[in-house]
């Protein structure tokens, strides 16, 4: 294959998965000067690829919404419009960086040699049947490293030995949205109920952050998260519940934070990509393969917490991860 100049990436969701793909673009742009990328991504995450300097065009897809009403999707013409956008360019390579049946199907509709993970490497092995050029990438490693290896093999360049770089320019995000400084961001919302750190623990941690001389800032994404943010703020002497913000505006708030505390959720991965020091709290999940990736990131797991009898919390799994334990991890991050 001659040196590729125009490549399509298919990585539709979720937020963390999309963010984990960015370092592979950085590698490729360094190894292959002049290479440019288009990207197929779920409409709710369409901002994210635009933050990387090697991305020219984002093609939004709405699989999550469309599958709720396939007939309406067809009648509305949205699928036909998407197919037209997808087929508008001839690519030197098309890379399915997701390894799912849905992403492989989408990638197969683009024009260009199709690369993806082989049946031993893909999350859904059947997806590999779509790829004329399947690539073997070992499973037992972090997702960022797997995607970096997939790109290096697909585009035929030597993978750098240095850690992956997200290469996001912080100047592109709105600044000055929080007037009370210095501050710590609490990323408290997630879709999995068992991933939530107990609300009473957030309230206690907010008080500790305040006592150390820092303001607490609370973003939210839905009414339920807003109500929780307000309750945490009410238990604190210095806290701000943010208004409804765009993803870029949230990124701007995170950029200017002294540090962050996050549950295992997409905004935690965004915090890592922005290189804001953070402590991410893992209960039922493991950070080994999909943890927040980058400098200044601490993964706090239940294995690191002492055993003992604790007051009942909800969810109960997080009882050993007390505010004192989290503060011990967070304080050095604030002082970085």
Q: Where are the domains of the chain?
A: 6-155, 170-334
Using only C-alpha atoms, what is the Rg of the chain? 21
**Whole-prediction pTM value?**
0.95
Element (H, E) at 107: helix 101-108
Q: Do domains 6-155 and 170-334 have the same CATH topology?
A: yes
Q: What is the dihedral of CA 199, 205, 209, 215, to 10 degrees?
A: 0
* Start-to-end Cα distance in the chain: 46
Tens digit of pLDDT per residue, the chain (336 long)? 688 999 999 999 999 999 999 999 999 999 999 999 999 999 999 999 999 999 999 999 998 777 777 667 677 888 899 999 999 999 999 999 999 999 999 999 999 999 999 999 999 999 999 999 999 999 999 999 999 999 999 999 999 999 999 999 888 999 999 999 999 999 999 999 999 999 999 999 999 999 999 999 999 999 999 999 999 999 999 999 999 999 999 999 999 999 999 999 999 999 999 999 999 999 999 999 999 999 999 999 999 999 888 988 999 999 999 999 999 999 999 987
User: What b/e string do you get for 152-187 counting C-beta neighbours within 10 Å, with b at 16 or more?
Assistant: bbbbebeeeeeebbbbbeeeebeeebbeeeebbbbb
- Note the pLDDT of residue 77: 82
User: What b/e string do you get for 59-79 counting C-beta neighbours within 10 Å, with b at 16 or more?
Assistant: bebbbeebeeeeeebeeeeee
The strand pair at 36-42 and 6-10 is best described as parallel
- Note the pLDDT of residue 73: 65
* Three-state DSSP state, 94: strand
Which homologous superfamily is 6-155 in? Glycogen Phosphorylase B; (3.40.50.2000)
Structure tokens that stand for 43 in this block: 């409409």
- Note the pLDDT of residue 127: 97
DSSP string covering 108-169: HTSBS-EEEE-TTTSSSGGGGGG-SEEE---SSS-HHHHHHHHHHHHHT-PPPSSPP-----
Q: Compute the distance between CA of residue 305 and CA of residue 312 in angstroms, rounded to an integer.
A: 16
Instruction: State the CATH class of domain 170-334.
Output: alpha beta
Is 77 within 8 Å of 93 (Cβ atoms)?
no
DSSP string covering 22-88: HHHHHHHHHHSTT-EEEEEEEGGGTHHHHTSTTEEEEEEE-HHHHTT-HHHHHHHTHHHHHHHHHTT
Q: How many CA atoms lie within 13 A of 120 on its CB side?
A: 5
Q: What is the dihedral of CA 67, 72, 73, 77, to 10 degrees?
A: 180
Q: What is the dihedral of CA 296, 302, 306, 307, to 10 degrees?
A: 180
């Amino acid at each position: 294959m001659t040196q590729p100049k125009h490549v399509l990436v298919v990585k539709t969701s979720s937020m963390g998965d999309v963010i984990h793909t960015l370092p592979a673009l950085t590698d490729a742009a360094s190894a292959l000067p002049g290479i440019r990328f288009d990207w197929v991504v779920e409409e709710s995450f369409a901002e994210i690829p635009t933050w990387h300097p090697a991305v020219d065009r984002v093609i939004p897809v709405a699989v999550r919404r469309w599958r709720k009403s396939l007939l309406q999707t067809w009648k509305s013409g949205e699928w036909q419009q998407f197919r037209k956008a997808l087929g508008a360019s001839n690519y030197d390579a098309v890379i399915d960086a997701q390894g799912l049946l849905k992403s492989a199907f989408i990638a197969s509709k683009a024009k260009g040699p199709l690369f993806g993970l082989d049946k031993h490497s893909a999350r859904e092995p059947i997806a590999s049947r779509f790829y004329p050029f399947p690539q073997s990438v070992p499973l037992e490693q972090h997702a960022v490293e797997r995607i970096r290896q997939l790109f290096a093999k697909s585009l035929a360049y030597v993978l750098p030995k240095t850690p992956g770089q997200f290469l996001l320019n912080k100047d592109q995000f709105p600044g000055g949205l929080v007037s009370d400084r210095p501050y710590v961001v609490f990323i408290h919302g997630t879709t999995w109920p068992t991933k939530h750190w107990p609300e009473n623990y957030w309230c206690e941690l907010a008080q500790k952050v305040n006592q150390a001389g820092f303001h607490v800032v609370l973003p939210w994404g839905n009414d339920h998260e807003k109500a929780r943010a307000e309750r945490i703020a009410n238990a604190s002497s210095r806290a701000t519940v943010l208004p409804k913000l765009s993803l870029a505006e949230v990124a701007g708030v995170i950029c200017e934070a002294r540090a962050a505390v996050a549950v295992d959720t997409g905004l935690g991965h965004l915090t890592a990509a922005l290189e804001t020091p953070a402590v991410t709290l893992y209960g039922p999940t493991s950070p080994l393969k999909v943890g927040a990736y980058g400098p200044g990131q601490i993964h706090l797991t239940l294995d690191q917490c002492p055993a003992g009898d604790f007051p009942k919390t909800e969810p109960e799994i997080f009882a050993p991860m007390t505010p004192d334990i989290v503060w011990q991890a967070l304080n050095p991050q604030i002082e970085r």
